[in-house]
Amino acid sequence: MRTVVEGVSKAYDHPKGPQTQALGRVDFAIEEGEFVALVGPSGCGKSTLLNIVAGLLAPSTGRVRFHGASLNGRPRTAVVFQDLALFPWRSVEGNVRYGLEELGVARRDRRRRAREWLALVGLEGFEAHYPHQLSGGMKQRAAIARALAVDPGLLLMDEPFSALDAQTRMDMQLELSRIYEATAKSVLYITHYIPEAVFLADRVIVLTGRPGVIREKVRVDLPRPREERIKVEPRYVEYLERIWGLVRGVGGAAEGTGS
């Protein structure tokens, strides 16, 4: 599925006082199977944009269109948030089965598919555990399995690893790139952590400060599978420096150029 974000902007109304223009006009596409990371300073409208793409929030202008790939009975998007991702009263497997129940998948298939996805994210043996019995990294693995199990056209992730400690976060970046390479899903990944964006993405879209507009779209031409050692290679470091500069407002056009 190809996702097209067309002229989307968002102003929040306030009961008293002026509106907040959270997001300026943005236009971009996410190609079938592409991993796009969206970076920008805190408060620039990243979560607002993700919620609009997810259909959880109406834009003030513009629209989001989904093209191609038959989506018969499949949701267009599924979201992994930073926290509050799992139902505490359901087991890990029960959480992953949830979306499949909503889709009307037969009971036997639900169990099989839930177990397959849990194995893919490295949670084999933890199916009967409850969220409070899991580490932060394991909770996010379960949330990823739950989102992928419904076979969405686009996986949306809003700072999914921001609450994790540094080591777990690095492990999860590797895990996510492995999962992405294994599933070839389209992904829109939001982060304010630039090294993570460069490590994971095929393309990094840099937003300006609030109201966020696209400063630049940067294609990340690094080989896959992505491995930890890429982080010490000069071309990886060059991407970091370039994108740090763009986020600070150095270089690049005010509107996105390039691919």
Ligand X SMILES: Nc1ncnc2c1ncn2[C@@H]1O[C@H](COP(=O)(O)OP(=O)(O)O)[C@@H](O)[C@H]1O
Residues of this chain that bind ligand X (CB under 6 A): 12, 20, 22, 42-48, 210
Q: Which does 114 bind (CB under 5 to 8 A by kind): Mg ion, ligand X, none?
A: none
Instruction: Report DSSP state, residue 108.
Output: H
- The residue (of 91 and 191) whose beta carbon lies closer to Mg ion is 191
**Minimum CB–partner distance for residue 192 and ligand X (Å):** 7
Q: Which does 131 bind (CB under 5 to 8 A by kind): Mg ion, ligand X, none?
A: none
> How many residues touch Mg ion (CB under 5 A)?
2
- The residue (of 91 and 208) whose beta carbon lies closer to Mg ion is 208
Residue 75, SS3 per DSSP: coil
With contact defined as beta carbons under 8 Å apart, do 176 and 199 qualify?
no
**Minimum CB–partner distance for residue 144 and ligand X (Å):** 20
Tokens coding 210: 């609030």
- Residues from 31 through 50 that contact Mg ion (CB under 5 A): 46-47
**Minimum CB–partner distance for residue 58 and Mg ion (Å):** 18
Determine the Cα–Cα distance for residues 120 and 107; give it in Å rounded to an integer. Answer: 20
Tokens coding 224: 């896959």
Tokens coding 198: 């460069």
Q: Which amino acid is at 95?
A: N
**Minimum CB–partner distance for residue 21 and ligand X (Å):** 8
**Minimum CB–partner distance for residue 44 and ligand X (Å):** 4
With contact defined as beta carbons under 8 Å apart, do 204 and 220 qualify?
yes
- The residue (of 12 and 87) whose beta carbon lies closer to ligand X is 12
Determine the Cα–Cα distance for residues 120 and 80; give it in Å rounded to an integer. Answer: 16
User: Contacts for 220-224 with beta carbons within 8 Å, 24 or more apart?
Assistant: 222/198, 224/177, 224/181
**Minimum CB–partner distance for residue 52 and ligand X (Å):** 10
Q: Which does 183 bind (CB under 5 to 8 A by kind): ligand X, Mg ion, none?
A: none
With contact defined as beta carbons under 8 Å apart, do 217 and 258 qualify?
yes
Taking alpha carbons only, the member of 34, 102, 40 closest to residue 68 is: 34
- The residue (of 22 and 123) whose beta carbon lies closer to ligand X is 22
- The residue (of 146 and 210) whose beta carbon lies closer to ligand X is 210
- The residue (of 30 and 150) whose beta carbon lies closer to ligand X is 30
- The residues of the shown chain that bind Mg ion, judged by CB under 5 A, are 46-47
